[in-house]
Amino acid sequence: MAFEVFEENLDEARDEALAMLDATRRDASPKRRYDWLYRDNPDGEAVLWAVRKVETGEMAGFTVALPRRMLVDGRPRVCWNGADFSIRQEFRTLGVAIKLRRAAKEGVDAGRVDFLYAHPNAKMQLIHEKVGHSPVGTMVRYAKPLRTGKHWKGRLKGTWLPAVAGKLTDVALHVRSPEWRHRPTFSTRLVESPVFDGRFDRLFERAEATRRVLGVRDSRYLDWRYARNPLYRTHAILAEDGEQLAGYLLFTRGQAMVHVKDVLVAGGRAAQRDLIAALIRLSRKTRSASISAAVLEGHPLEGTLTRFGFARRPDCSQMFGYAPMESPLREVVLDRSSWMVSVGDRDV
């Protein structure tokens, strides 16, 4: 069977791509996600490559690259963030996947963008390596339990014993947790539906350049990624010094778990600590069972999470990157310590 890769028109490929996602994913992909993610991105429209059977033109699979504005050593660059990758079950061979994955690499080689990065699942890591992408670092997850009732249900018999054990454990976790002893430097407040205005632009301009590669987090990007996201509602905790924004923490709630999406500060570790302490106190009030945060290993947030009782979990994934051999950016792009990456930098 012969296959060929084509760069597709987003409008013309829409129905086929959505059908492909529905056929290869556990959950259906809503049409509004396609338009928001592929068409409305303020950094540019997505690039979609499809692999098709030469004889019939049938779409066997497709992948997408999302343009992303980055600062590299303080200079603006544009890269591709690897996103959806789907191949129908009957066409899942190494050759087909490599053909499709190679398309983005060739686009970088042709100078369409400066570099790319991606967060493939475990099965796709081999494909990235085969086409010349390099592992950059490990995305690690930290979690802090707040309520342990479900934990004890699976370990103790009866109806009342797990409940009692859970309450006693929760009280102990509460008393020992350091957020109650934390004395804030900045005032913090919850904003259920944040509006990303000029204060967020000014915060990004003032944010400490603790890493050489940083995704642009101006109001235009934040509004698209979070306020207009059709898949989930994002909440914010703001750290403020009078009228000035010292930092923010963006999070979602779901199934009794709080998920941290992104944290950015211009007030150093003090603002980080204030935001994490405020999130823990808020999560207890809303009776959330746990808080989870995933970052690229080496992220400056790791120390603050550990300080407030978050533990590193075994589940993790690899981030890959690519820049041409002759590119002056190659060394920094493939160096884990250069990047500051949170869940908010990944595909959606």
Range of weakest confidence among 112-121, 280-289, 318-327: 280-289
Q: Is residue 332 part of a domain?
A: no
Q: Which residues pair with 66 in a beta bridge?
A: 81
Q: How many CB atoms lie within 10 A of CB 161?
A: 13
Burial class (CB in 10 A: 0-12, 13-18, 19+), 88: middle
Residues 47, 15 share a domain: yes
Q: Is pLDDT of 125 > 80?
A: yes
Average pLDDT over residues 160-182: 62
Average pLDDT over residues 78-95: 90
Q: Is pLDDT of 288 > 60?
A: yes
Q: Is residue 115 part of a domain?
A: yes
Contacts of 276 (CB under 8 A, 6+ apart): 179, 249, 263, 304, 305, 308
220-277, pLDDT tens digit by residue? Answer: 999 999 999 999 999 999 999 999 999 999 999 988 899 999 999 997 899 999 999 9
- Across the chain, mean pLDDT equals 90
Residues 173, 126 share a domain: no
Q: Is residue 347 part of a domain?
A: no
Q: How many CB atoms lie within 10 A of CB 225?
A: 24
Exposure letters 163-202 (e unless 16+ CB within 10 A, then b): eebbeebbeebeeebebeebeebbebebeeebebeebbbe
Count of domains forming the chain: 2
Q: Which of 288, 270, 267 is nearest to 279 (CA)?
A: 288
Q: Is residue 84 part of a domain?
A: yes
Residues 280, 145 share a domain: yes
Q: Is pLDDT of 152 > 50?
A: no
Average pLDDT over residues 140-156: 72
* Residue given tokens 């790791």 in the structure block: 302
Q: Is residue 260 part of a domain?
A: yes
Average pLDDT over residues 182-210: 93
Q: Is pLDDT of 155 > 70?
A: no
Residues 201, 293 share a domain: yes
Residue ranges of alpha helices (H) inside 49-89 are none
Residues 185, 298 share a domain: yes
Last residue of a domain, one of 132, 156, 183: 132
At 89, the pLDDT band (50, 70, 90 cuts) reads: confident
Residues 150, 125 share a domain: no
Q: Is residue 345 part of a domain?
A: no
**Which range of residues forms the domain containing residue 115?**
3-132
Residues 225, 104 share a domain: no
Indicate the pTM of the whole model: 0.91
Last residue of a domain, one of 132, 156, 175: 132
Last residue of a domain, one of 132, 163, 187: 132
Residues 299, 184 share a domain: yes
Average pLDDT over residues 139-156: 73
The domain that holds 145 is classified in CATH as 3.40.630.30
Residues 105, 168 share a domain: no
At 18, the pLDDT band (50, 70, 90 cuts) reads: very high
Q: Is residue 327 part of a domain?
A: no
**Distances 101 to 1, 69, 138, 141, 209 between C-alpha atoms, Å:** 18, 21, 21, 27, 32
Residues 145, 128 share a domain: no
Residues 201, 93 share a domain: no
Given phi > 0 = left and psi -120 to 50 = alpha, else beta, which region is 298? left
Q: Is residue 336 part of a domain?
A: no
Residues 85, 154 share a domain: no
Q: Is pLDDT of 172 > 80?
A: no
Share of the chain above pLDDT 90, in %: 77
